[in-house]
Amino acid sequence: MISSKIRLVILLTGCLSFCFTAYAQPSAKDGVLDLRQNDLDGEVELNGEWQFYWQQFVNPAAIPAKSDVRVQFPFLWNGYLLNGHKLPSFGYASYVLTIVMPKHTAPLRMSVPDVYCAYRLYLNGKLIASNGNATQGPDGFRAHWQYRAVDLPANTDTLRLVLHVSNFVHYRGGVKSPLALGPKAPMELARQRSEAIDLLLTGCLFMGGLFFLGLYIFGNRDKAVLMFSLYAIVYSYRIIGTDNYVLHSLFPDLNWYVAVRLEYMSLFAGIGIFGLYCRYLYPADSNKKVIAAITIVCFVFTGISLFFPAYYFSQLVNPFLVVMVFCLVYVPYLYIKAWRLKRPGSIYSLASSLALMGVFAISLLHYWNIVPQLQLLSFIGYISFFFLQSLVLSHRVSFVLTRARHEAEQGLVAKSEFLSTMSHEIRTPLNSVIGIGHLLLENDPRPDQQAQLQTMIFSANNLLGIVNDILDYNKIEAGMVTFENIPTDLPAIARNIVNSLATIAQDKAIDLRLNIDSELDFMVNADPTRIAQVLTNLVHNAIKFTNTGEVLVTLGLKKRSETELTVRFGVRDTGIGISLKNQALIFDRFTQADSSTSRSFGGTGLGLAISKRLLELQDSQLHLESEEGKGAYFYFDQIFAPGGQSLMVAAPAGQAPANPAAFSGLSILLVEDNILNVMVVQTFLKRRGAVIDVAGNGQEALAMLDTSKHRLILMDLHMPVMDGYEAARRIRAKGITIPIIALTANLPQDIQDEVHAAGIDDIVVKPFLPDELYRKVLHYVS
Ligand code: ADP
């Protein structure tokens, strides 16, 4: 089987040989092109031996004396050795050719490309085309480059062409591209197609360049992206403003002296910019000095093209070929290196340089008149080149974005870890503050001390609320919130909230009322903690922002079916209300309706943001109706699945009041390293008559545990030497089933899986109220 590379070579050779054969053309001899054997059904280039008259404009109307000089058309005269003298660039001359035509032809057309740098073309004595003003001296001379096409009279047996050319501006003089003769319709179509391809390619490159420029300006400021955009824009000019000169056909008045500068500048600057592009694309792999040398040459040449006359800068093309050939070797070398070093997107760079090589090969072969222009193939090559380069950049941009996202995600993880550590650290001492506050309250303080203690506990609880809010918001943002779906008694939740906030309302002399739909007599499947959190927040706000009047909490059944219950939760107050402008703001984090709010009412501005997000995560929306000064109504509808039980038979949720007698003589092992916490828990429990042994860490606990005596273990989780999880695991490994309750400053939902896996039965979250601890302990020992 032939390898794919060999197959490619065969294919290419096949294509080229086809091109060569297709390109075999008749040739003029001794100033005469005999086309009698040619039926002219395809385009014929008028190449071969033309008569040449140096420094003469022969009379087109008369048959001139034969010139001694024959030149191979197309013919540039500069540097040509005539009578022992090298011809200069500046001067004028006539080219003459006689064409003997076939008998019958279809309507014909002759195409005349641009020459250096002005001409007049006569056919059988009549002027048929001209560019600029061809003169015999610099006076009145005007250069112009534009493609022209002339329709020829049918059935003429002889065509005598006289071409007057003059040049007083360019380093080259004479004719570089062939004139062509052929059937009108296909030639017209070919030209239209060629212009269309140029326009299309220009549009693609220009828009691509603008796109990448936008990406650079508004995006990542990657210099490789900037250079590529500039390169594409500059190169787009070259497609339309050189070779076929489509731009000059579109704008026939385009000033030659401007256009020629742009043509050369775009060539030099284009390569320089491309060098910089490669440099920024692969900074570690490209040689700084080599790129610097290329860029300097390119930009010096660009400068010369801008400021010097065309005669000088038009000579720079030949030395510049050296730079181009060097780039043709260096750039693929660089791309191969980048590819071997596995730089992102480098495989596309490599493929693109192959495409560019193809384009250069075609234009070189065409330059040497070996193949025709093969414009479509070049077009495909260019498009592939720019497309592949865009892929390199897209790959690079998305690589940077992926890395940035990864870093951001890591940052988010670090932030949430930091916040949970901080909140843990803050909650632990708060436990002592609140615990000791409660202990002191139980010690018969003086009335003034009692008021101070209550303020202290209130402030500590506030602080705890803030810490919890920040932690919660952080978790919502990090997408780490999960919801429970367990049978829940919604009216009980509402009653509990109203009861727990009743004292605050009473203190402000506000009427706090609860109105529950009598039809709401079913348990539903829901997350009771989150519902309580949202509702508490709304009721708490309503009380906070109401100075007179009432707060009404409502639970209404909006819709009921076999499978779904829609419940509307509402909190209406007669407080300060919220202006329309602020209604849009208060759901954002850390935003309060008015900056004086936090001074007069306290708060962080997180509560509503959290409530809103929590509801959204459960497909519900928090709504607000309010008018400034006339109170506010917050409400949301939530859809639940029935929880199976009627509330009439529902078991009361483990809220049995603590029975003080049950503690008497109860032996508990307290495992805790923080002495203040030891003091708080010990004092709470000893007051009820429990007997407490204290271990400072897990290892001590294992040594001290006496199953014949201890009825329960209260275990801190974070301790030196051996933590609570490990201690619990070892206790369970010994087959001991004594209840273990974890004391932790972490949020239960964060640790419950780990706690469960370690064999721990329950969690009490610090800071806790004495009653909470009593209830949990009693639940496990009774
Ligand atoms: P916080 O109460 O901690 O400031 P929230 O996010 O709960 O934060 O509330 C944001 C803001 O919305 C409050 O500061 C207040 O300006 C306004 N607001 C919330 N509830 C009410 C209400 N019932 N009446 C008037 N304004 C309210």
Percent of the chain with pLDDT over 70: 92
What is the pLDDT of the chain when averaged over all its residues?
86
What is the reported pLDDT for 11? 42
Q: Which ligand 1 atom is nearest residue 577's CA?
A: 25
CA distance 684 to 436: 9
CA distance 338 to 639: 58
* Rounded distance from Cα 534 to ligand 1 centre (Å): 13
Ligand 1, atom 14: closest residue by C-alpha: 592
* Rounded distance from Cα 537 to ligand 1 centre (Å): 9
CA distance 175 to 172: 9
- Out of 461, 467, 597, mutate this one to test ligand 1's pocket (max ligand atoms within 8 Å of CB): namely 597
pTM exceeds 0.75 for this model: no
pLDDT above 70 (res 590)? no
* Rounded distance from Cα 627 to ligand 1 centre (Å): 14
Measuring CA to CA, which residue among 261, 273, 270, 265 is closest to residue 302?
A: 265
Q: Degrees (nearest 5) of the Cα angle 188, 189, 194?
A: 100
* Rounded distance from Cα 585 to ligand 1 centre (Å): 10
* Rounded distance from Cα 630 to ligand 1 centre (Å): 15
Q: What is the largest CA-CA distance in the chain?
A: 140
C-beta of 573 in contact with ligand 1 (< 6 A): yes
What is the reported pLDDT for 379? 87
C-beta of 610 in contact with ligand 1 (< 6 A): no
pLDDT digits (tens, 9 = 90+) for 89-147: 999 999 999 999 988 778 899 999 999 999 999 999 999 999 999 999 999 999 999 99
pLDDT above 90 (res 210)? yes
C-alpha 523, offset from chain centre: 47
What is the reported pLDDT for 664? 83
pLDDT above 70 (res 659)? no
- Out of 592, 604, 614, 625, mutate this one to test ligand 1's pocket (max ligand atoms within 8 Å of CB): namely 592
* Rounded distance from Cα 478 to ligand 1 centre (Å): 24
pLDDT digits (tens, 9 = 90+) for 159-174: 999 999 999 999 999 9
**Residue 701 burial (C-beta neighbours within 10 Å; 0-12, 13-18, 19+):** buried
- Out of 462, 501, 534, 586, mutate this one to test ligand 1's pocket (max ligand atoms within 8 Å of CB): namely 586
* Rounded distance from Cα 766 to ligand 1 centre (Å): 27
* Rounded distance from Cα 654 to ligand 1 centre (Å): 33
Mean pLDDT of 311-329: 90
Q: Which ligand 1 atom is nearest residue 606's CA?
A: 6
What is the reported pLDDT for 362? 86
Measuring CA to CA, which residue among 571, 695, 698, 701 is closest to residue 631?
A: 571
* Rounded distance from Cα 477 to ligand 1 centre (Å): 20
C-beta of 35 in contact with ligand 1 (< 6 A): no
C-beta of 608 in contact with ligand 1 (< 6 A): yes
pLDDT digits (tens, 9 = 90+) for 421-466: 887 788 778 888 888 888 888 888 888 888 888 888 877 887 887 7
What is the reported pLDDT for 66? 85
Q: Which ligand 1 atom is nearest residue 634's CA?
A: 23
Phi, psi of 124 (to 5 degrees): 45, 45
CA distance 39 to 182: 10
Ligand 1, atom 9: closest residue by C-alpha: 605
C-beta of 541 in contact with ligand 1 (< 6 A): yes
Measuring CA to CA, which residue among 137, 181, 174 is closest to residue 156?
A: 181
What is the reported pLDDT for 3? 39
Specify the range with the lowest mean pLDDT, choosing from 69-83, 204-218, 670-684.
670-684
- DSSP string for 578-613: --HHHHTTTTSTT--SSTHHHHHH---S-HHHHHHH
Ligand 1, atom 17: closest residue by C-alpha: 593
Contact 284, 185 (CB under 8 A): no
pLDDT above 90 (res 581)? no
pLDDT digits (tens, 9 = 90+) for 610-641: 899 999 999 999 999 999 999 999 999 999 99
CA distance 430 to 677: 10
CA distance 257 to 254: 9
Length of the chain in residues, anyone?
782
C-beta of 593 in contact with ligand 1 (< 6 A): yes
* Rounded distance from Cα 605 to ligand 1 centre (Å): 7
C-beta of 534 in contact with ligand 1 (< 6 A): no
CA distance 186 to 109: 10
Contact 96, 31 (CB under 8 A): yes
Residue 720 pLDDT level (bands cut at 50, 70, 90): confident
pLDDT above 90 (res 604)? no
* Rounded distance from Cα 593 to ligand 1 centre (Å): 7
pLDDT above 60 (res 352)? yes
Residue 534 pLDDT level (bands cut at 50, 70, 90): very high
- Domains of the chain (ranges; CATH) run 23-188 (2.60.120.260), 193-404 (1.20.1070), 490-646 (3.30.565.10), 667-781 (3.40.50.2300)
* Rounded distance from Cα 600 to ligand 1 centre (Å): 12
Phi, psi of 71 (to 5 degrees): -125, 155
Mean pLDDT of 329-338: 91
C-beta of 632 in contact with ligand 1 (< 6 A): yes
- DSSP string for 230-264: HHHHHHHHHHHHSTT-HHHHH-TT--HHHHHHHHH
Q: Which ligand 1 atom is nearest residue 604's CA?
A: 3
C-beta of 685 in contact with ligand 1 (< 6 A): no
* Rounded distance from Cα 28 to ligand 1 centre (Å): 95
Q: Which ligand 1 atom is nearest residue 542's CA?
A: 23
C-beta of 609 in contact with ligand 1 (< 6 A): yes
* Rounded distance from Cα 579 to ligand 1 centre (Å): 12
C-alpha 591, offset from chain centre: 29
